[in-house]
Chains A and B, each alone.
Chain A
């Protein structure tokens, strides 16, 4: 792990991504201090350009775009992390069971996984949110529901590969139970792959969330980047700043996450180590 960190630290792009993410975390942490008001509050005249009393201007209702972005960052991270964790838990469970027990279990679980993979992710997410009615929880459920199949296939592949290795056979021979073999020996050995892929999932989750909110399927009581953009779209040609700044925020965040994810992947994936 130490050598992996060292390798990560040598990757300049990954460090850049990490710096962007740290900045984002700092913004989220400082939000209550910087913007003590509710981001939905009407604090000034509508459509003020950036640079005046409001650093990033105001939107069509006279809300502070900077405050909206800060609170939107919290929402994006919450949903990104929440959905990714849920997807990893469920995906690992399904993939692990399939890869460990093989046979009928594997056939059943992997056909289910493939079934989910054949439905376009975003369409399925829209459907789930529409059925559950838009809220933070339903967004997390929807994004997790479209994200887990990739993890499941990855973990199954790893488990199938590990299943025949000597240390696993040895454990089995020494009488270790299934749970012990899975949790003590096999899972730690595919953790790096899960972390690498999972970190990329956060970026995808944030993008899906922004897309849902843009389509009016976000939680209407929670500020999010997609919501700001969707509200500003109507006046895009006369008030560019409303859509532009949250757009940049999404771009930087997803880019940062992808750079870090790639860095982790390179650092922890043995097949890429010597490149």
Chain B
């Protein structure tokens, strides 16, 4: 399968149903005839607190939930939508209606057939009301019309090309109307016993232990899935997770469930292998948020100096164990495939970066005082794991080198989030930000003036307010022409990199560890967050 990147103008093209089965292309792909049967054990970490996938966005739910819930589309390696529950679709020239024709003969695990009423109910009554990304991704969705049982028409107030990137079971799953109708969606009995159309049926969840999923005998794709059962195991201790993979007790550990520190050892194990594929639609960055109300940090040269002072390669090598790439600006390189990423922005990783940093700080009126210190800042340590403390320790050293005295503050998660996003009582914050399937998600929530929302976590807490950026992000969201859209986002990235309201550190790369007996596990850009319908175990 071709991996060349090309821009697909889906807006005026109808994609017809492909014959079943897209060619599998991945590190797990094999020419051998798939064998049936067997149980695959995958490690999911940490254990989800709920399986109400439609109402909670957390990275640890989809590996389980997407085996059960499916979306209208899947995606190929070039991130183009491909038929799934929808066998074809048509985007109107004005971009304001998208007409989906559904697959026939699809039934939910409770025996009910899939109709356009389910699609309508899922979008309007569940996803739009309860899904955490809906305020961005479904903001333009006005109604879903159902002219006949096999046709669902999304009606939009404005063009929203990004919706076509979010139709997978991970982002916008299709649920069974009769299960939810007339009930409290969040308290629905199937919240933790999901009923979908997927290749595996939910069987049981033993809290603290595992979730069991069994083969859906009536799956609508003939002959699939190959596996009899998937067991998702929860192992809190990192060393035990690695040991389970090495002992062959578990066959797959995605989403970096195995610590980066252990990957080198896994690599040398003849039974195991690694892949970084399957995260093409899961862009994320580690960044530093700078409090734009701080007397020093409100000066652009000071913010730029901080960006110059940090050696991203040290963080990449010693904190991330080499997985990822030094971030060049506000978008992850994963958006390159969609033609939205640019590295034509102000460069901070330059050979004379320390001289530049010192000069900028001198010129900004922050001269070195006693002990070579210019001024002091606090850095809030991310409480989601060890590696963030290591990163903070390095940052303290790096900024100390240019005369900024950093004091680390590590608090429990609730206190940390309240301090930063509610009280704004911080100087530098060290979060890890998921960027979603389209810049409209990641950029809008961080940089729109309207996203300065007291008490809402992981939104604009840098007080960045730039009318030009606001306007361009609005245009970018509605632009249907991929070329023009790319140009808008290029300009946005240039302005943001210049203004440096944040410091972009690392384009994060997740890693999957798998047992070599397990084949065809990573067959698309959503990796662990799509169904293992083609995965099979070699004897």
Contact = CB atoms under 8 A, between A and B. Distances in A.
B411 A134 contact: yes
B396 interface: yes
A221 B392 CA distance: 10
B511 to A, nearest CB: 15
A62 to B, nearest CB: 7
B266 to A, nearest CB: 11
Contacts of B410: 133-134, 216-217, 220
Nearest to B260: A234
Interface in B397-441: 397, 400, 407-412, 415
B145 to A, nearest CB: 53
A231 B381 contact: no
Contact of A42 (B259, B264, B389, B397): B397
B415 A235 contact: no
A40 to B, nearest CB: 6
Interface string B249-287: 000000000010110110000000000000000000000
B386 interface: yes
Contacts of B239: 236
Contact of A221 (B265, B318, B390, B407): B407
Contacts of B415: 133
Given A62-B318, A221-B407, A235 B393 contact: no
B222 to A, nearest CB: 46
A217 B409 CA distance: 10
Contacts of A11: none
Contact of A61 (B238, B394, B411, B412): B394
B390 A60 contact: yes
A237 to B, nearest CB: 7
B96 to A, nearest CB: 51
Interface string A217-228: 100110000000
Contacts of A273: none
Contacts of B408: 220-221
Interface residues of A, number: 23
Contacts of A235: 261
B238 A234 contact: yes
The dominant DSSP class at the B interface is helix
A200 to B, nearest CB: 30
B317 interface: yes
B259 A234 contact: yes
Contact of A133 (B386, B392, B411): B411
Contacts of A221: 396, 407-408
Interface string B306-329: 000000001001110000000000
A46 interface: yes
B386 A216 contact: yes
Contacts of B317: 46
B409 A220 contact: yes
Interface in A238-256: 238
Interface string A49-71: 00000000000111000000000
A260 B96 CA distance: 81
A60 B318 contact: yes
Contacts of A133: 409-411, 415
B261 A234 contact: yes
A27 interface: no
Contact of A220 (B262, B265, B393, B412): B393
Contacts of B264: 238
Interface string B499-526: 0000000000000000000000000000
B375 to A, nearest CB: 17
A21 interface: no
Interface in A34-87: 38, 40-42, 46, 60-62
B265 A61 contact: no
B238 A41 contact: no
A217 B412 CA distance: 9
B397 A41 contact: yes
B314 A220 contact: no
Interface of B: 238-239, 259, 261-262, 264-265, 314, 317-319, 381, 386, 389-390, 392-394, 396-397, 400, 407-412, 415
21 contacts: A38-B397, A40-B393, A40-B397, A42-B397, A60-B261, A60-B390, A61-B394, A62-B318, A133-B411, A134-B410, A134-B411, A220-B409, A221-B408, A230-B386, A231-B386, A231-B389, A234-B259, A234-B261, A235-B261, A236-B239, A237-B262
Given A42-B397, A133-B410, 6 more contacts: A60-B319, A130-B412, A231-B386, A231-B389, A234-B259, A236-B239
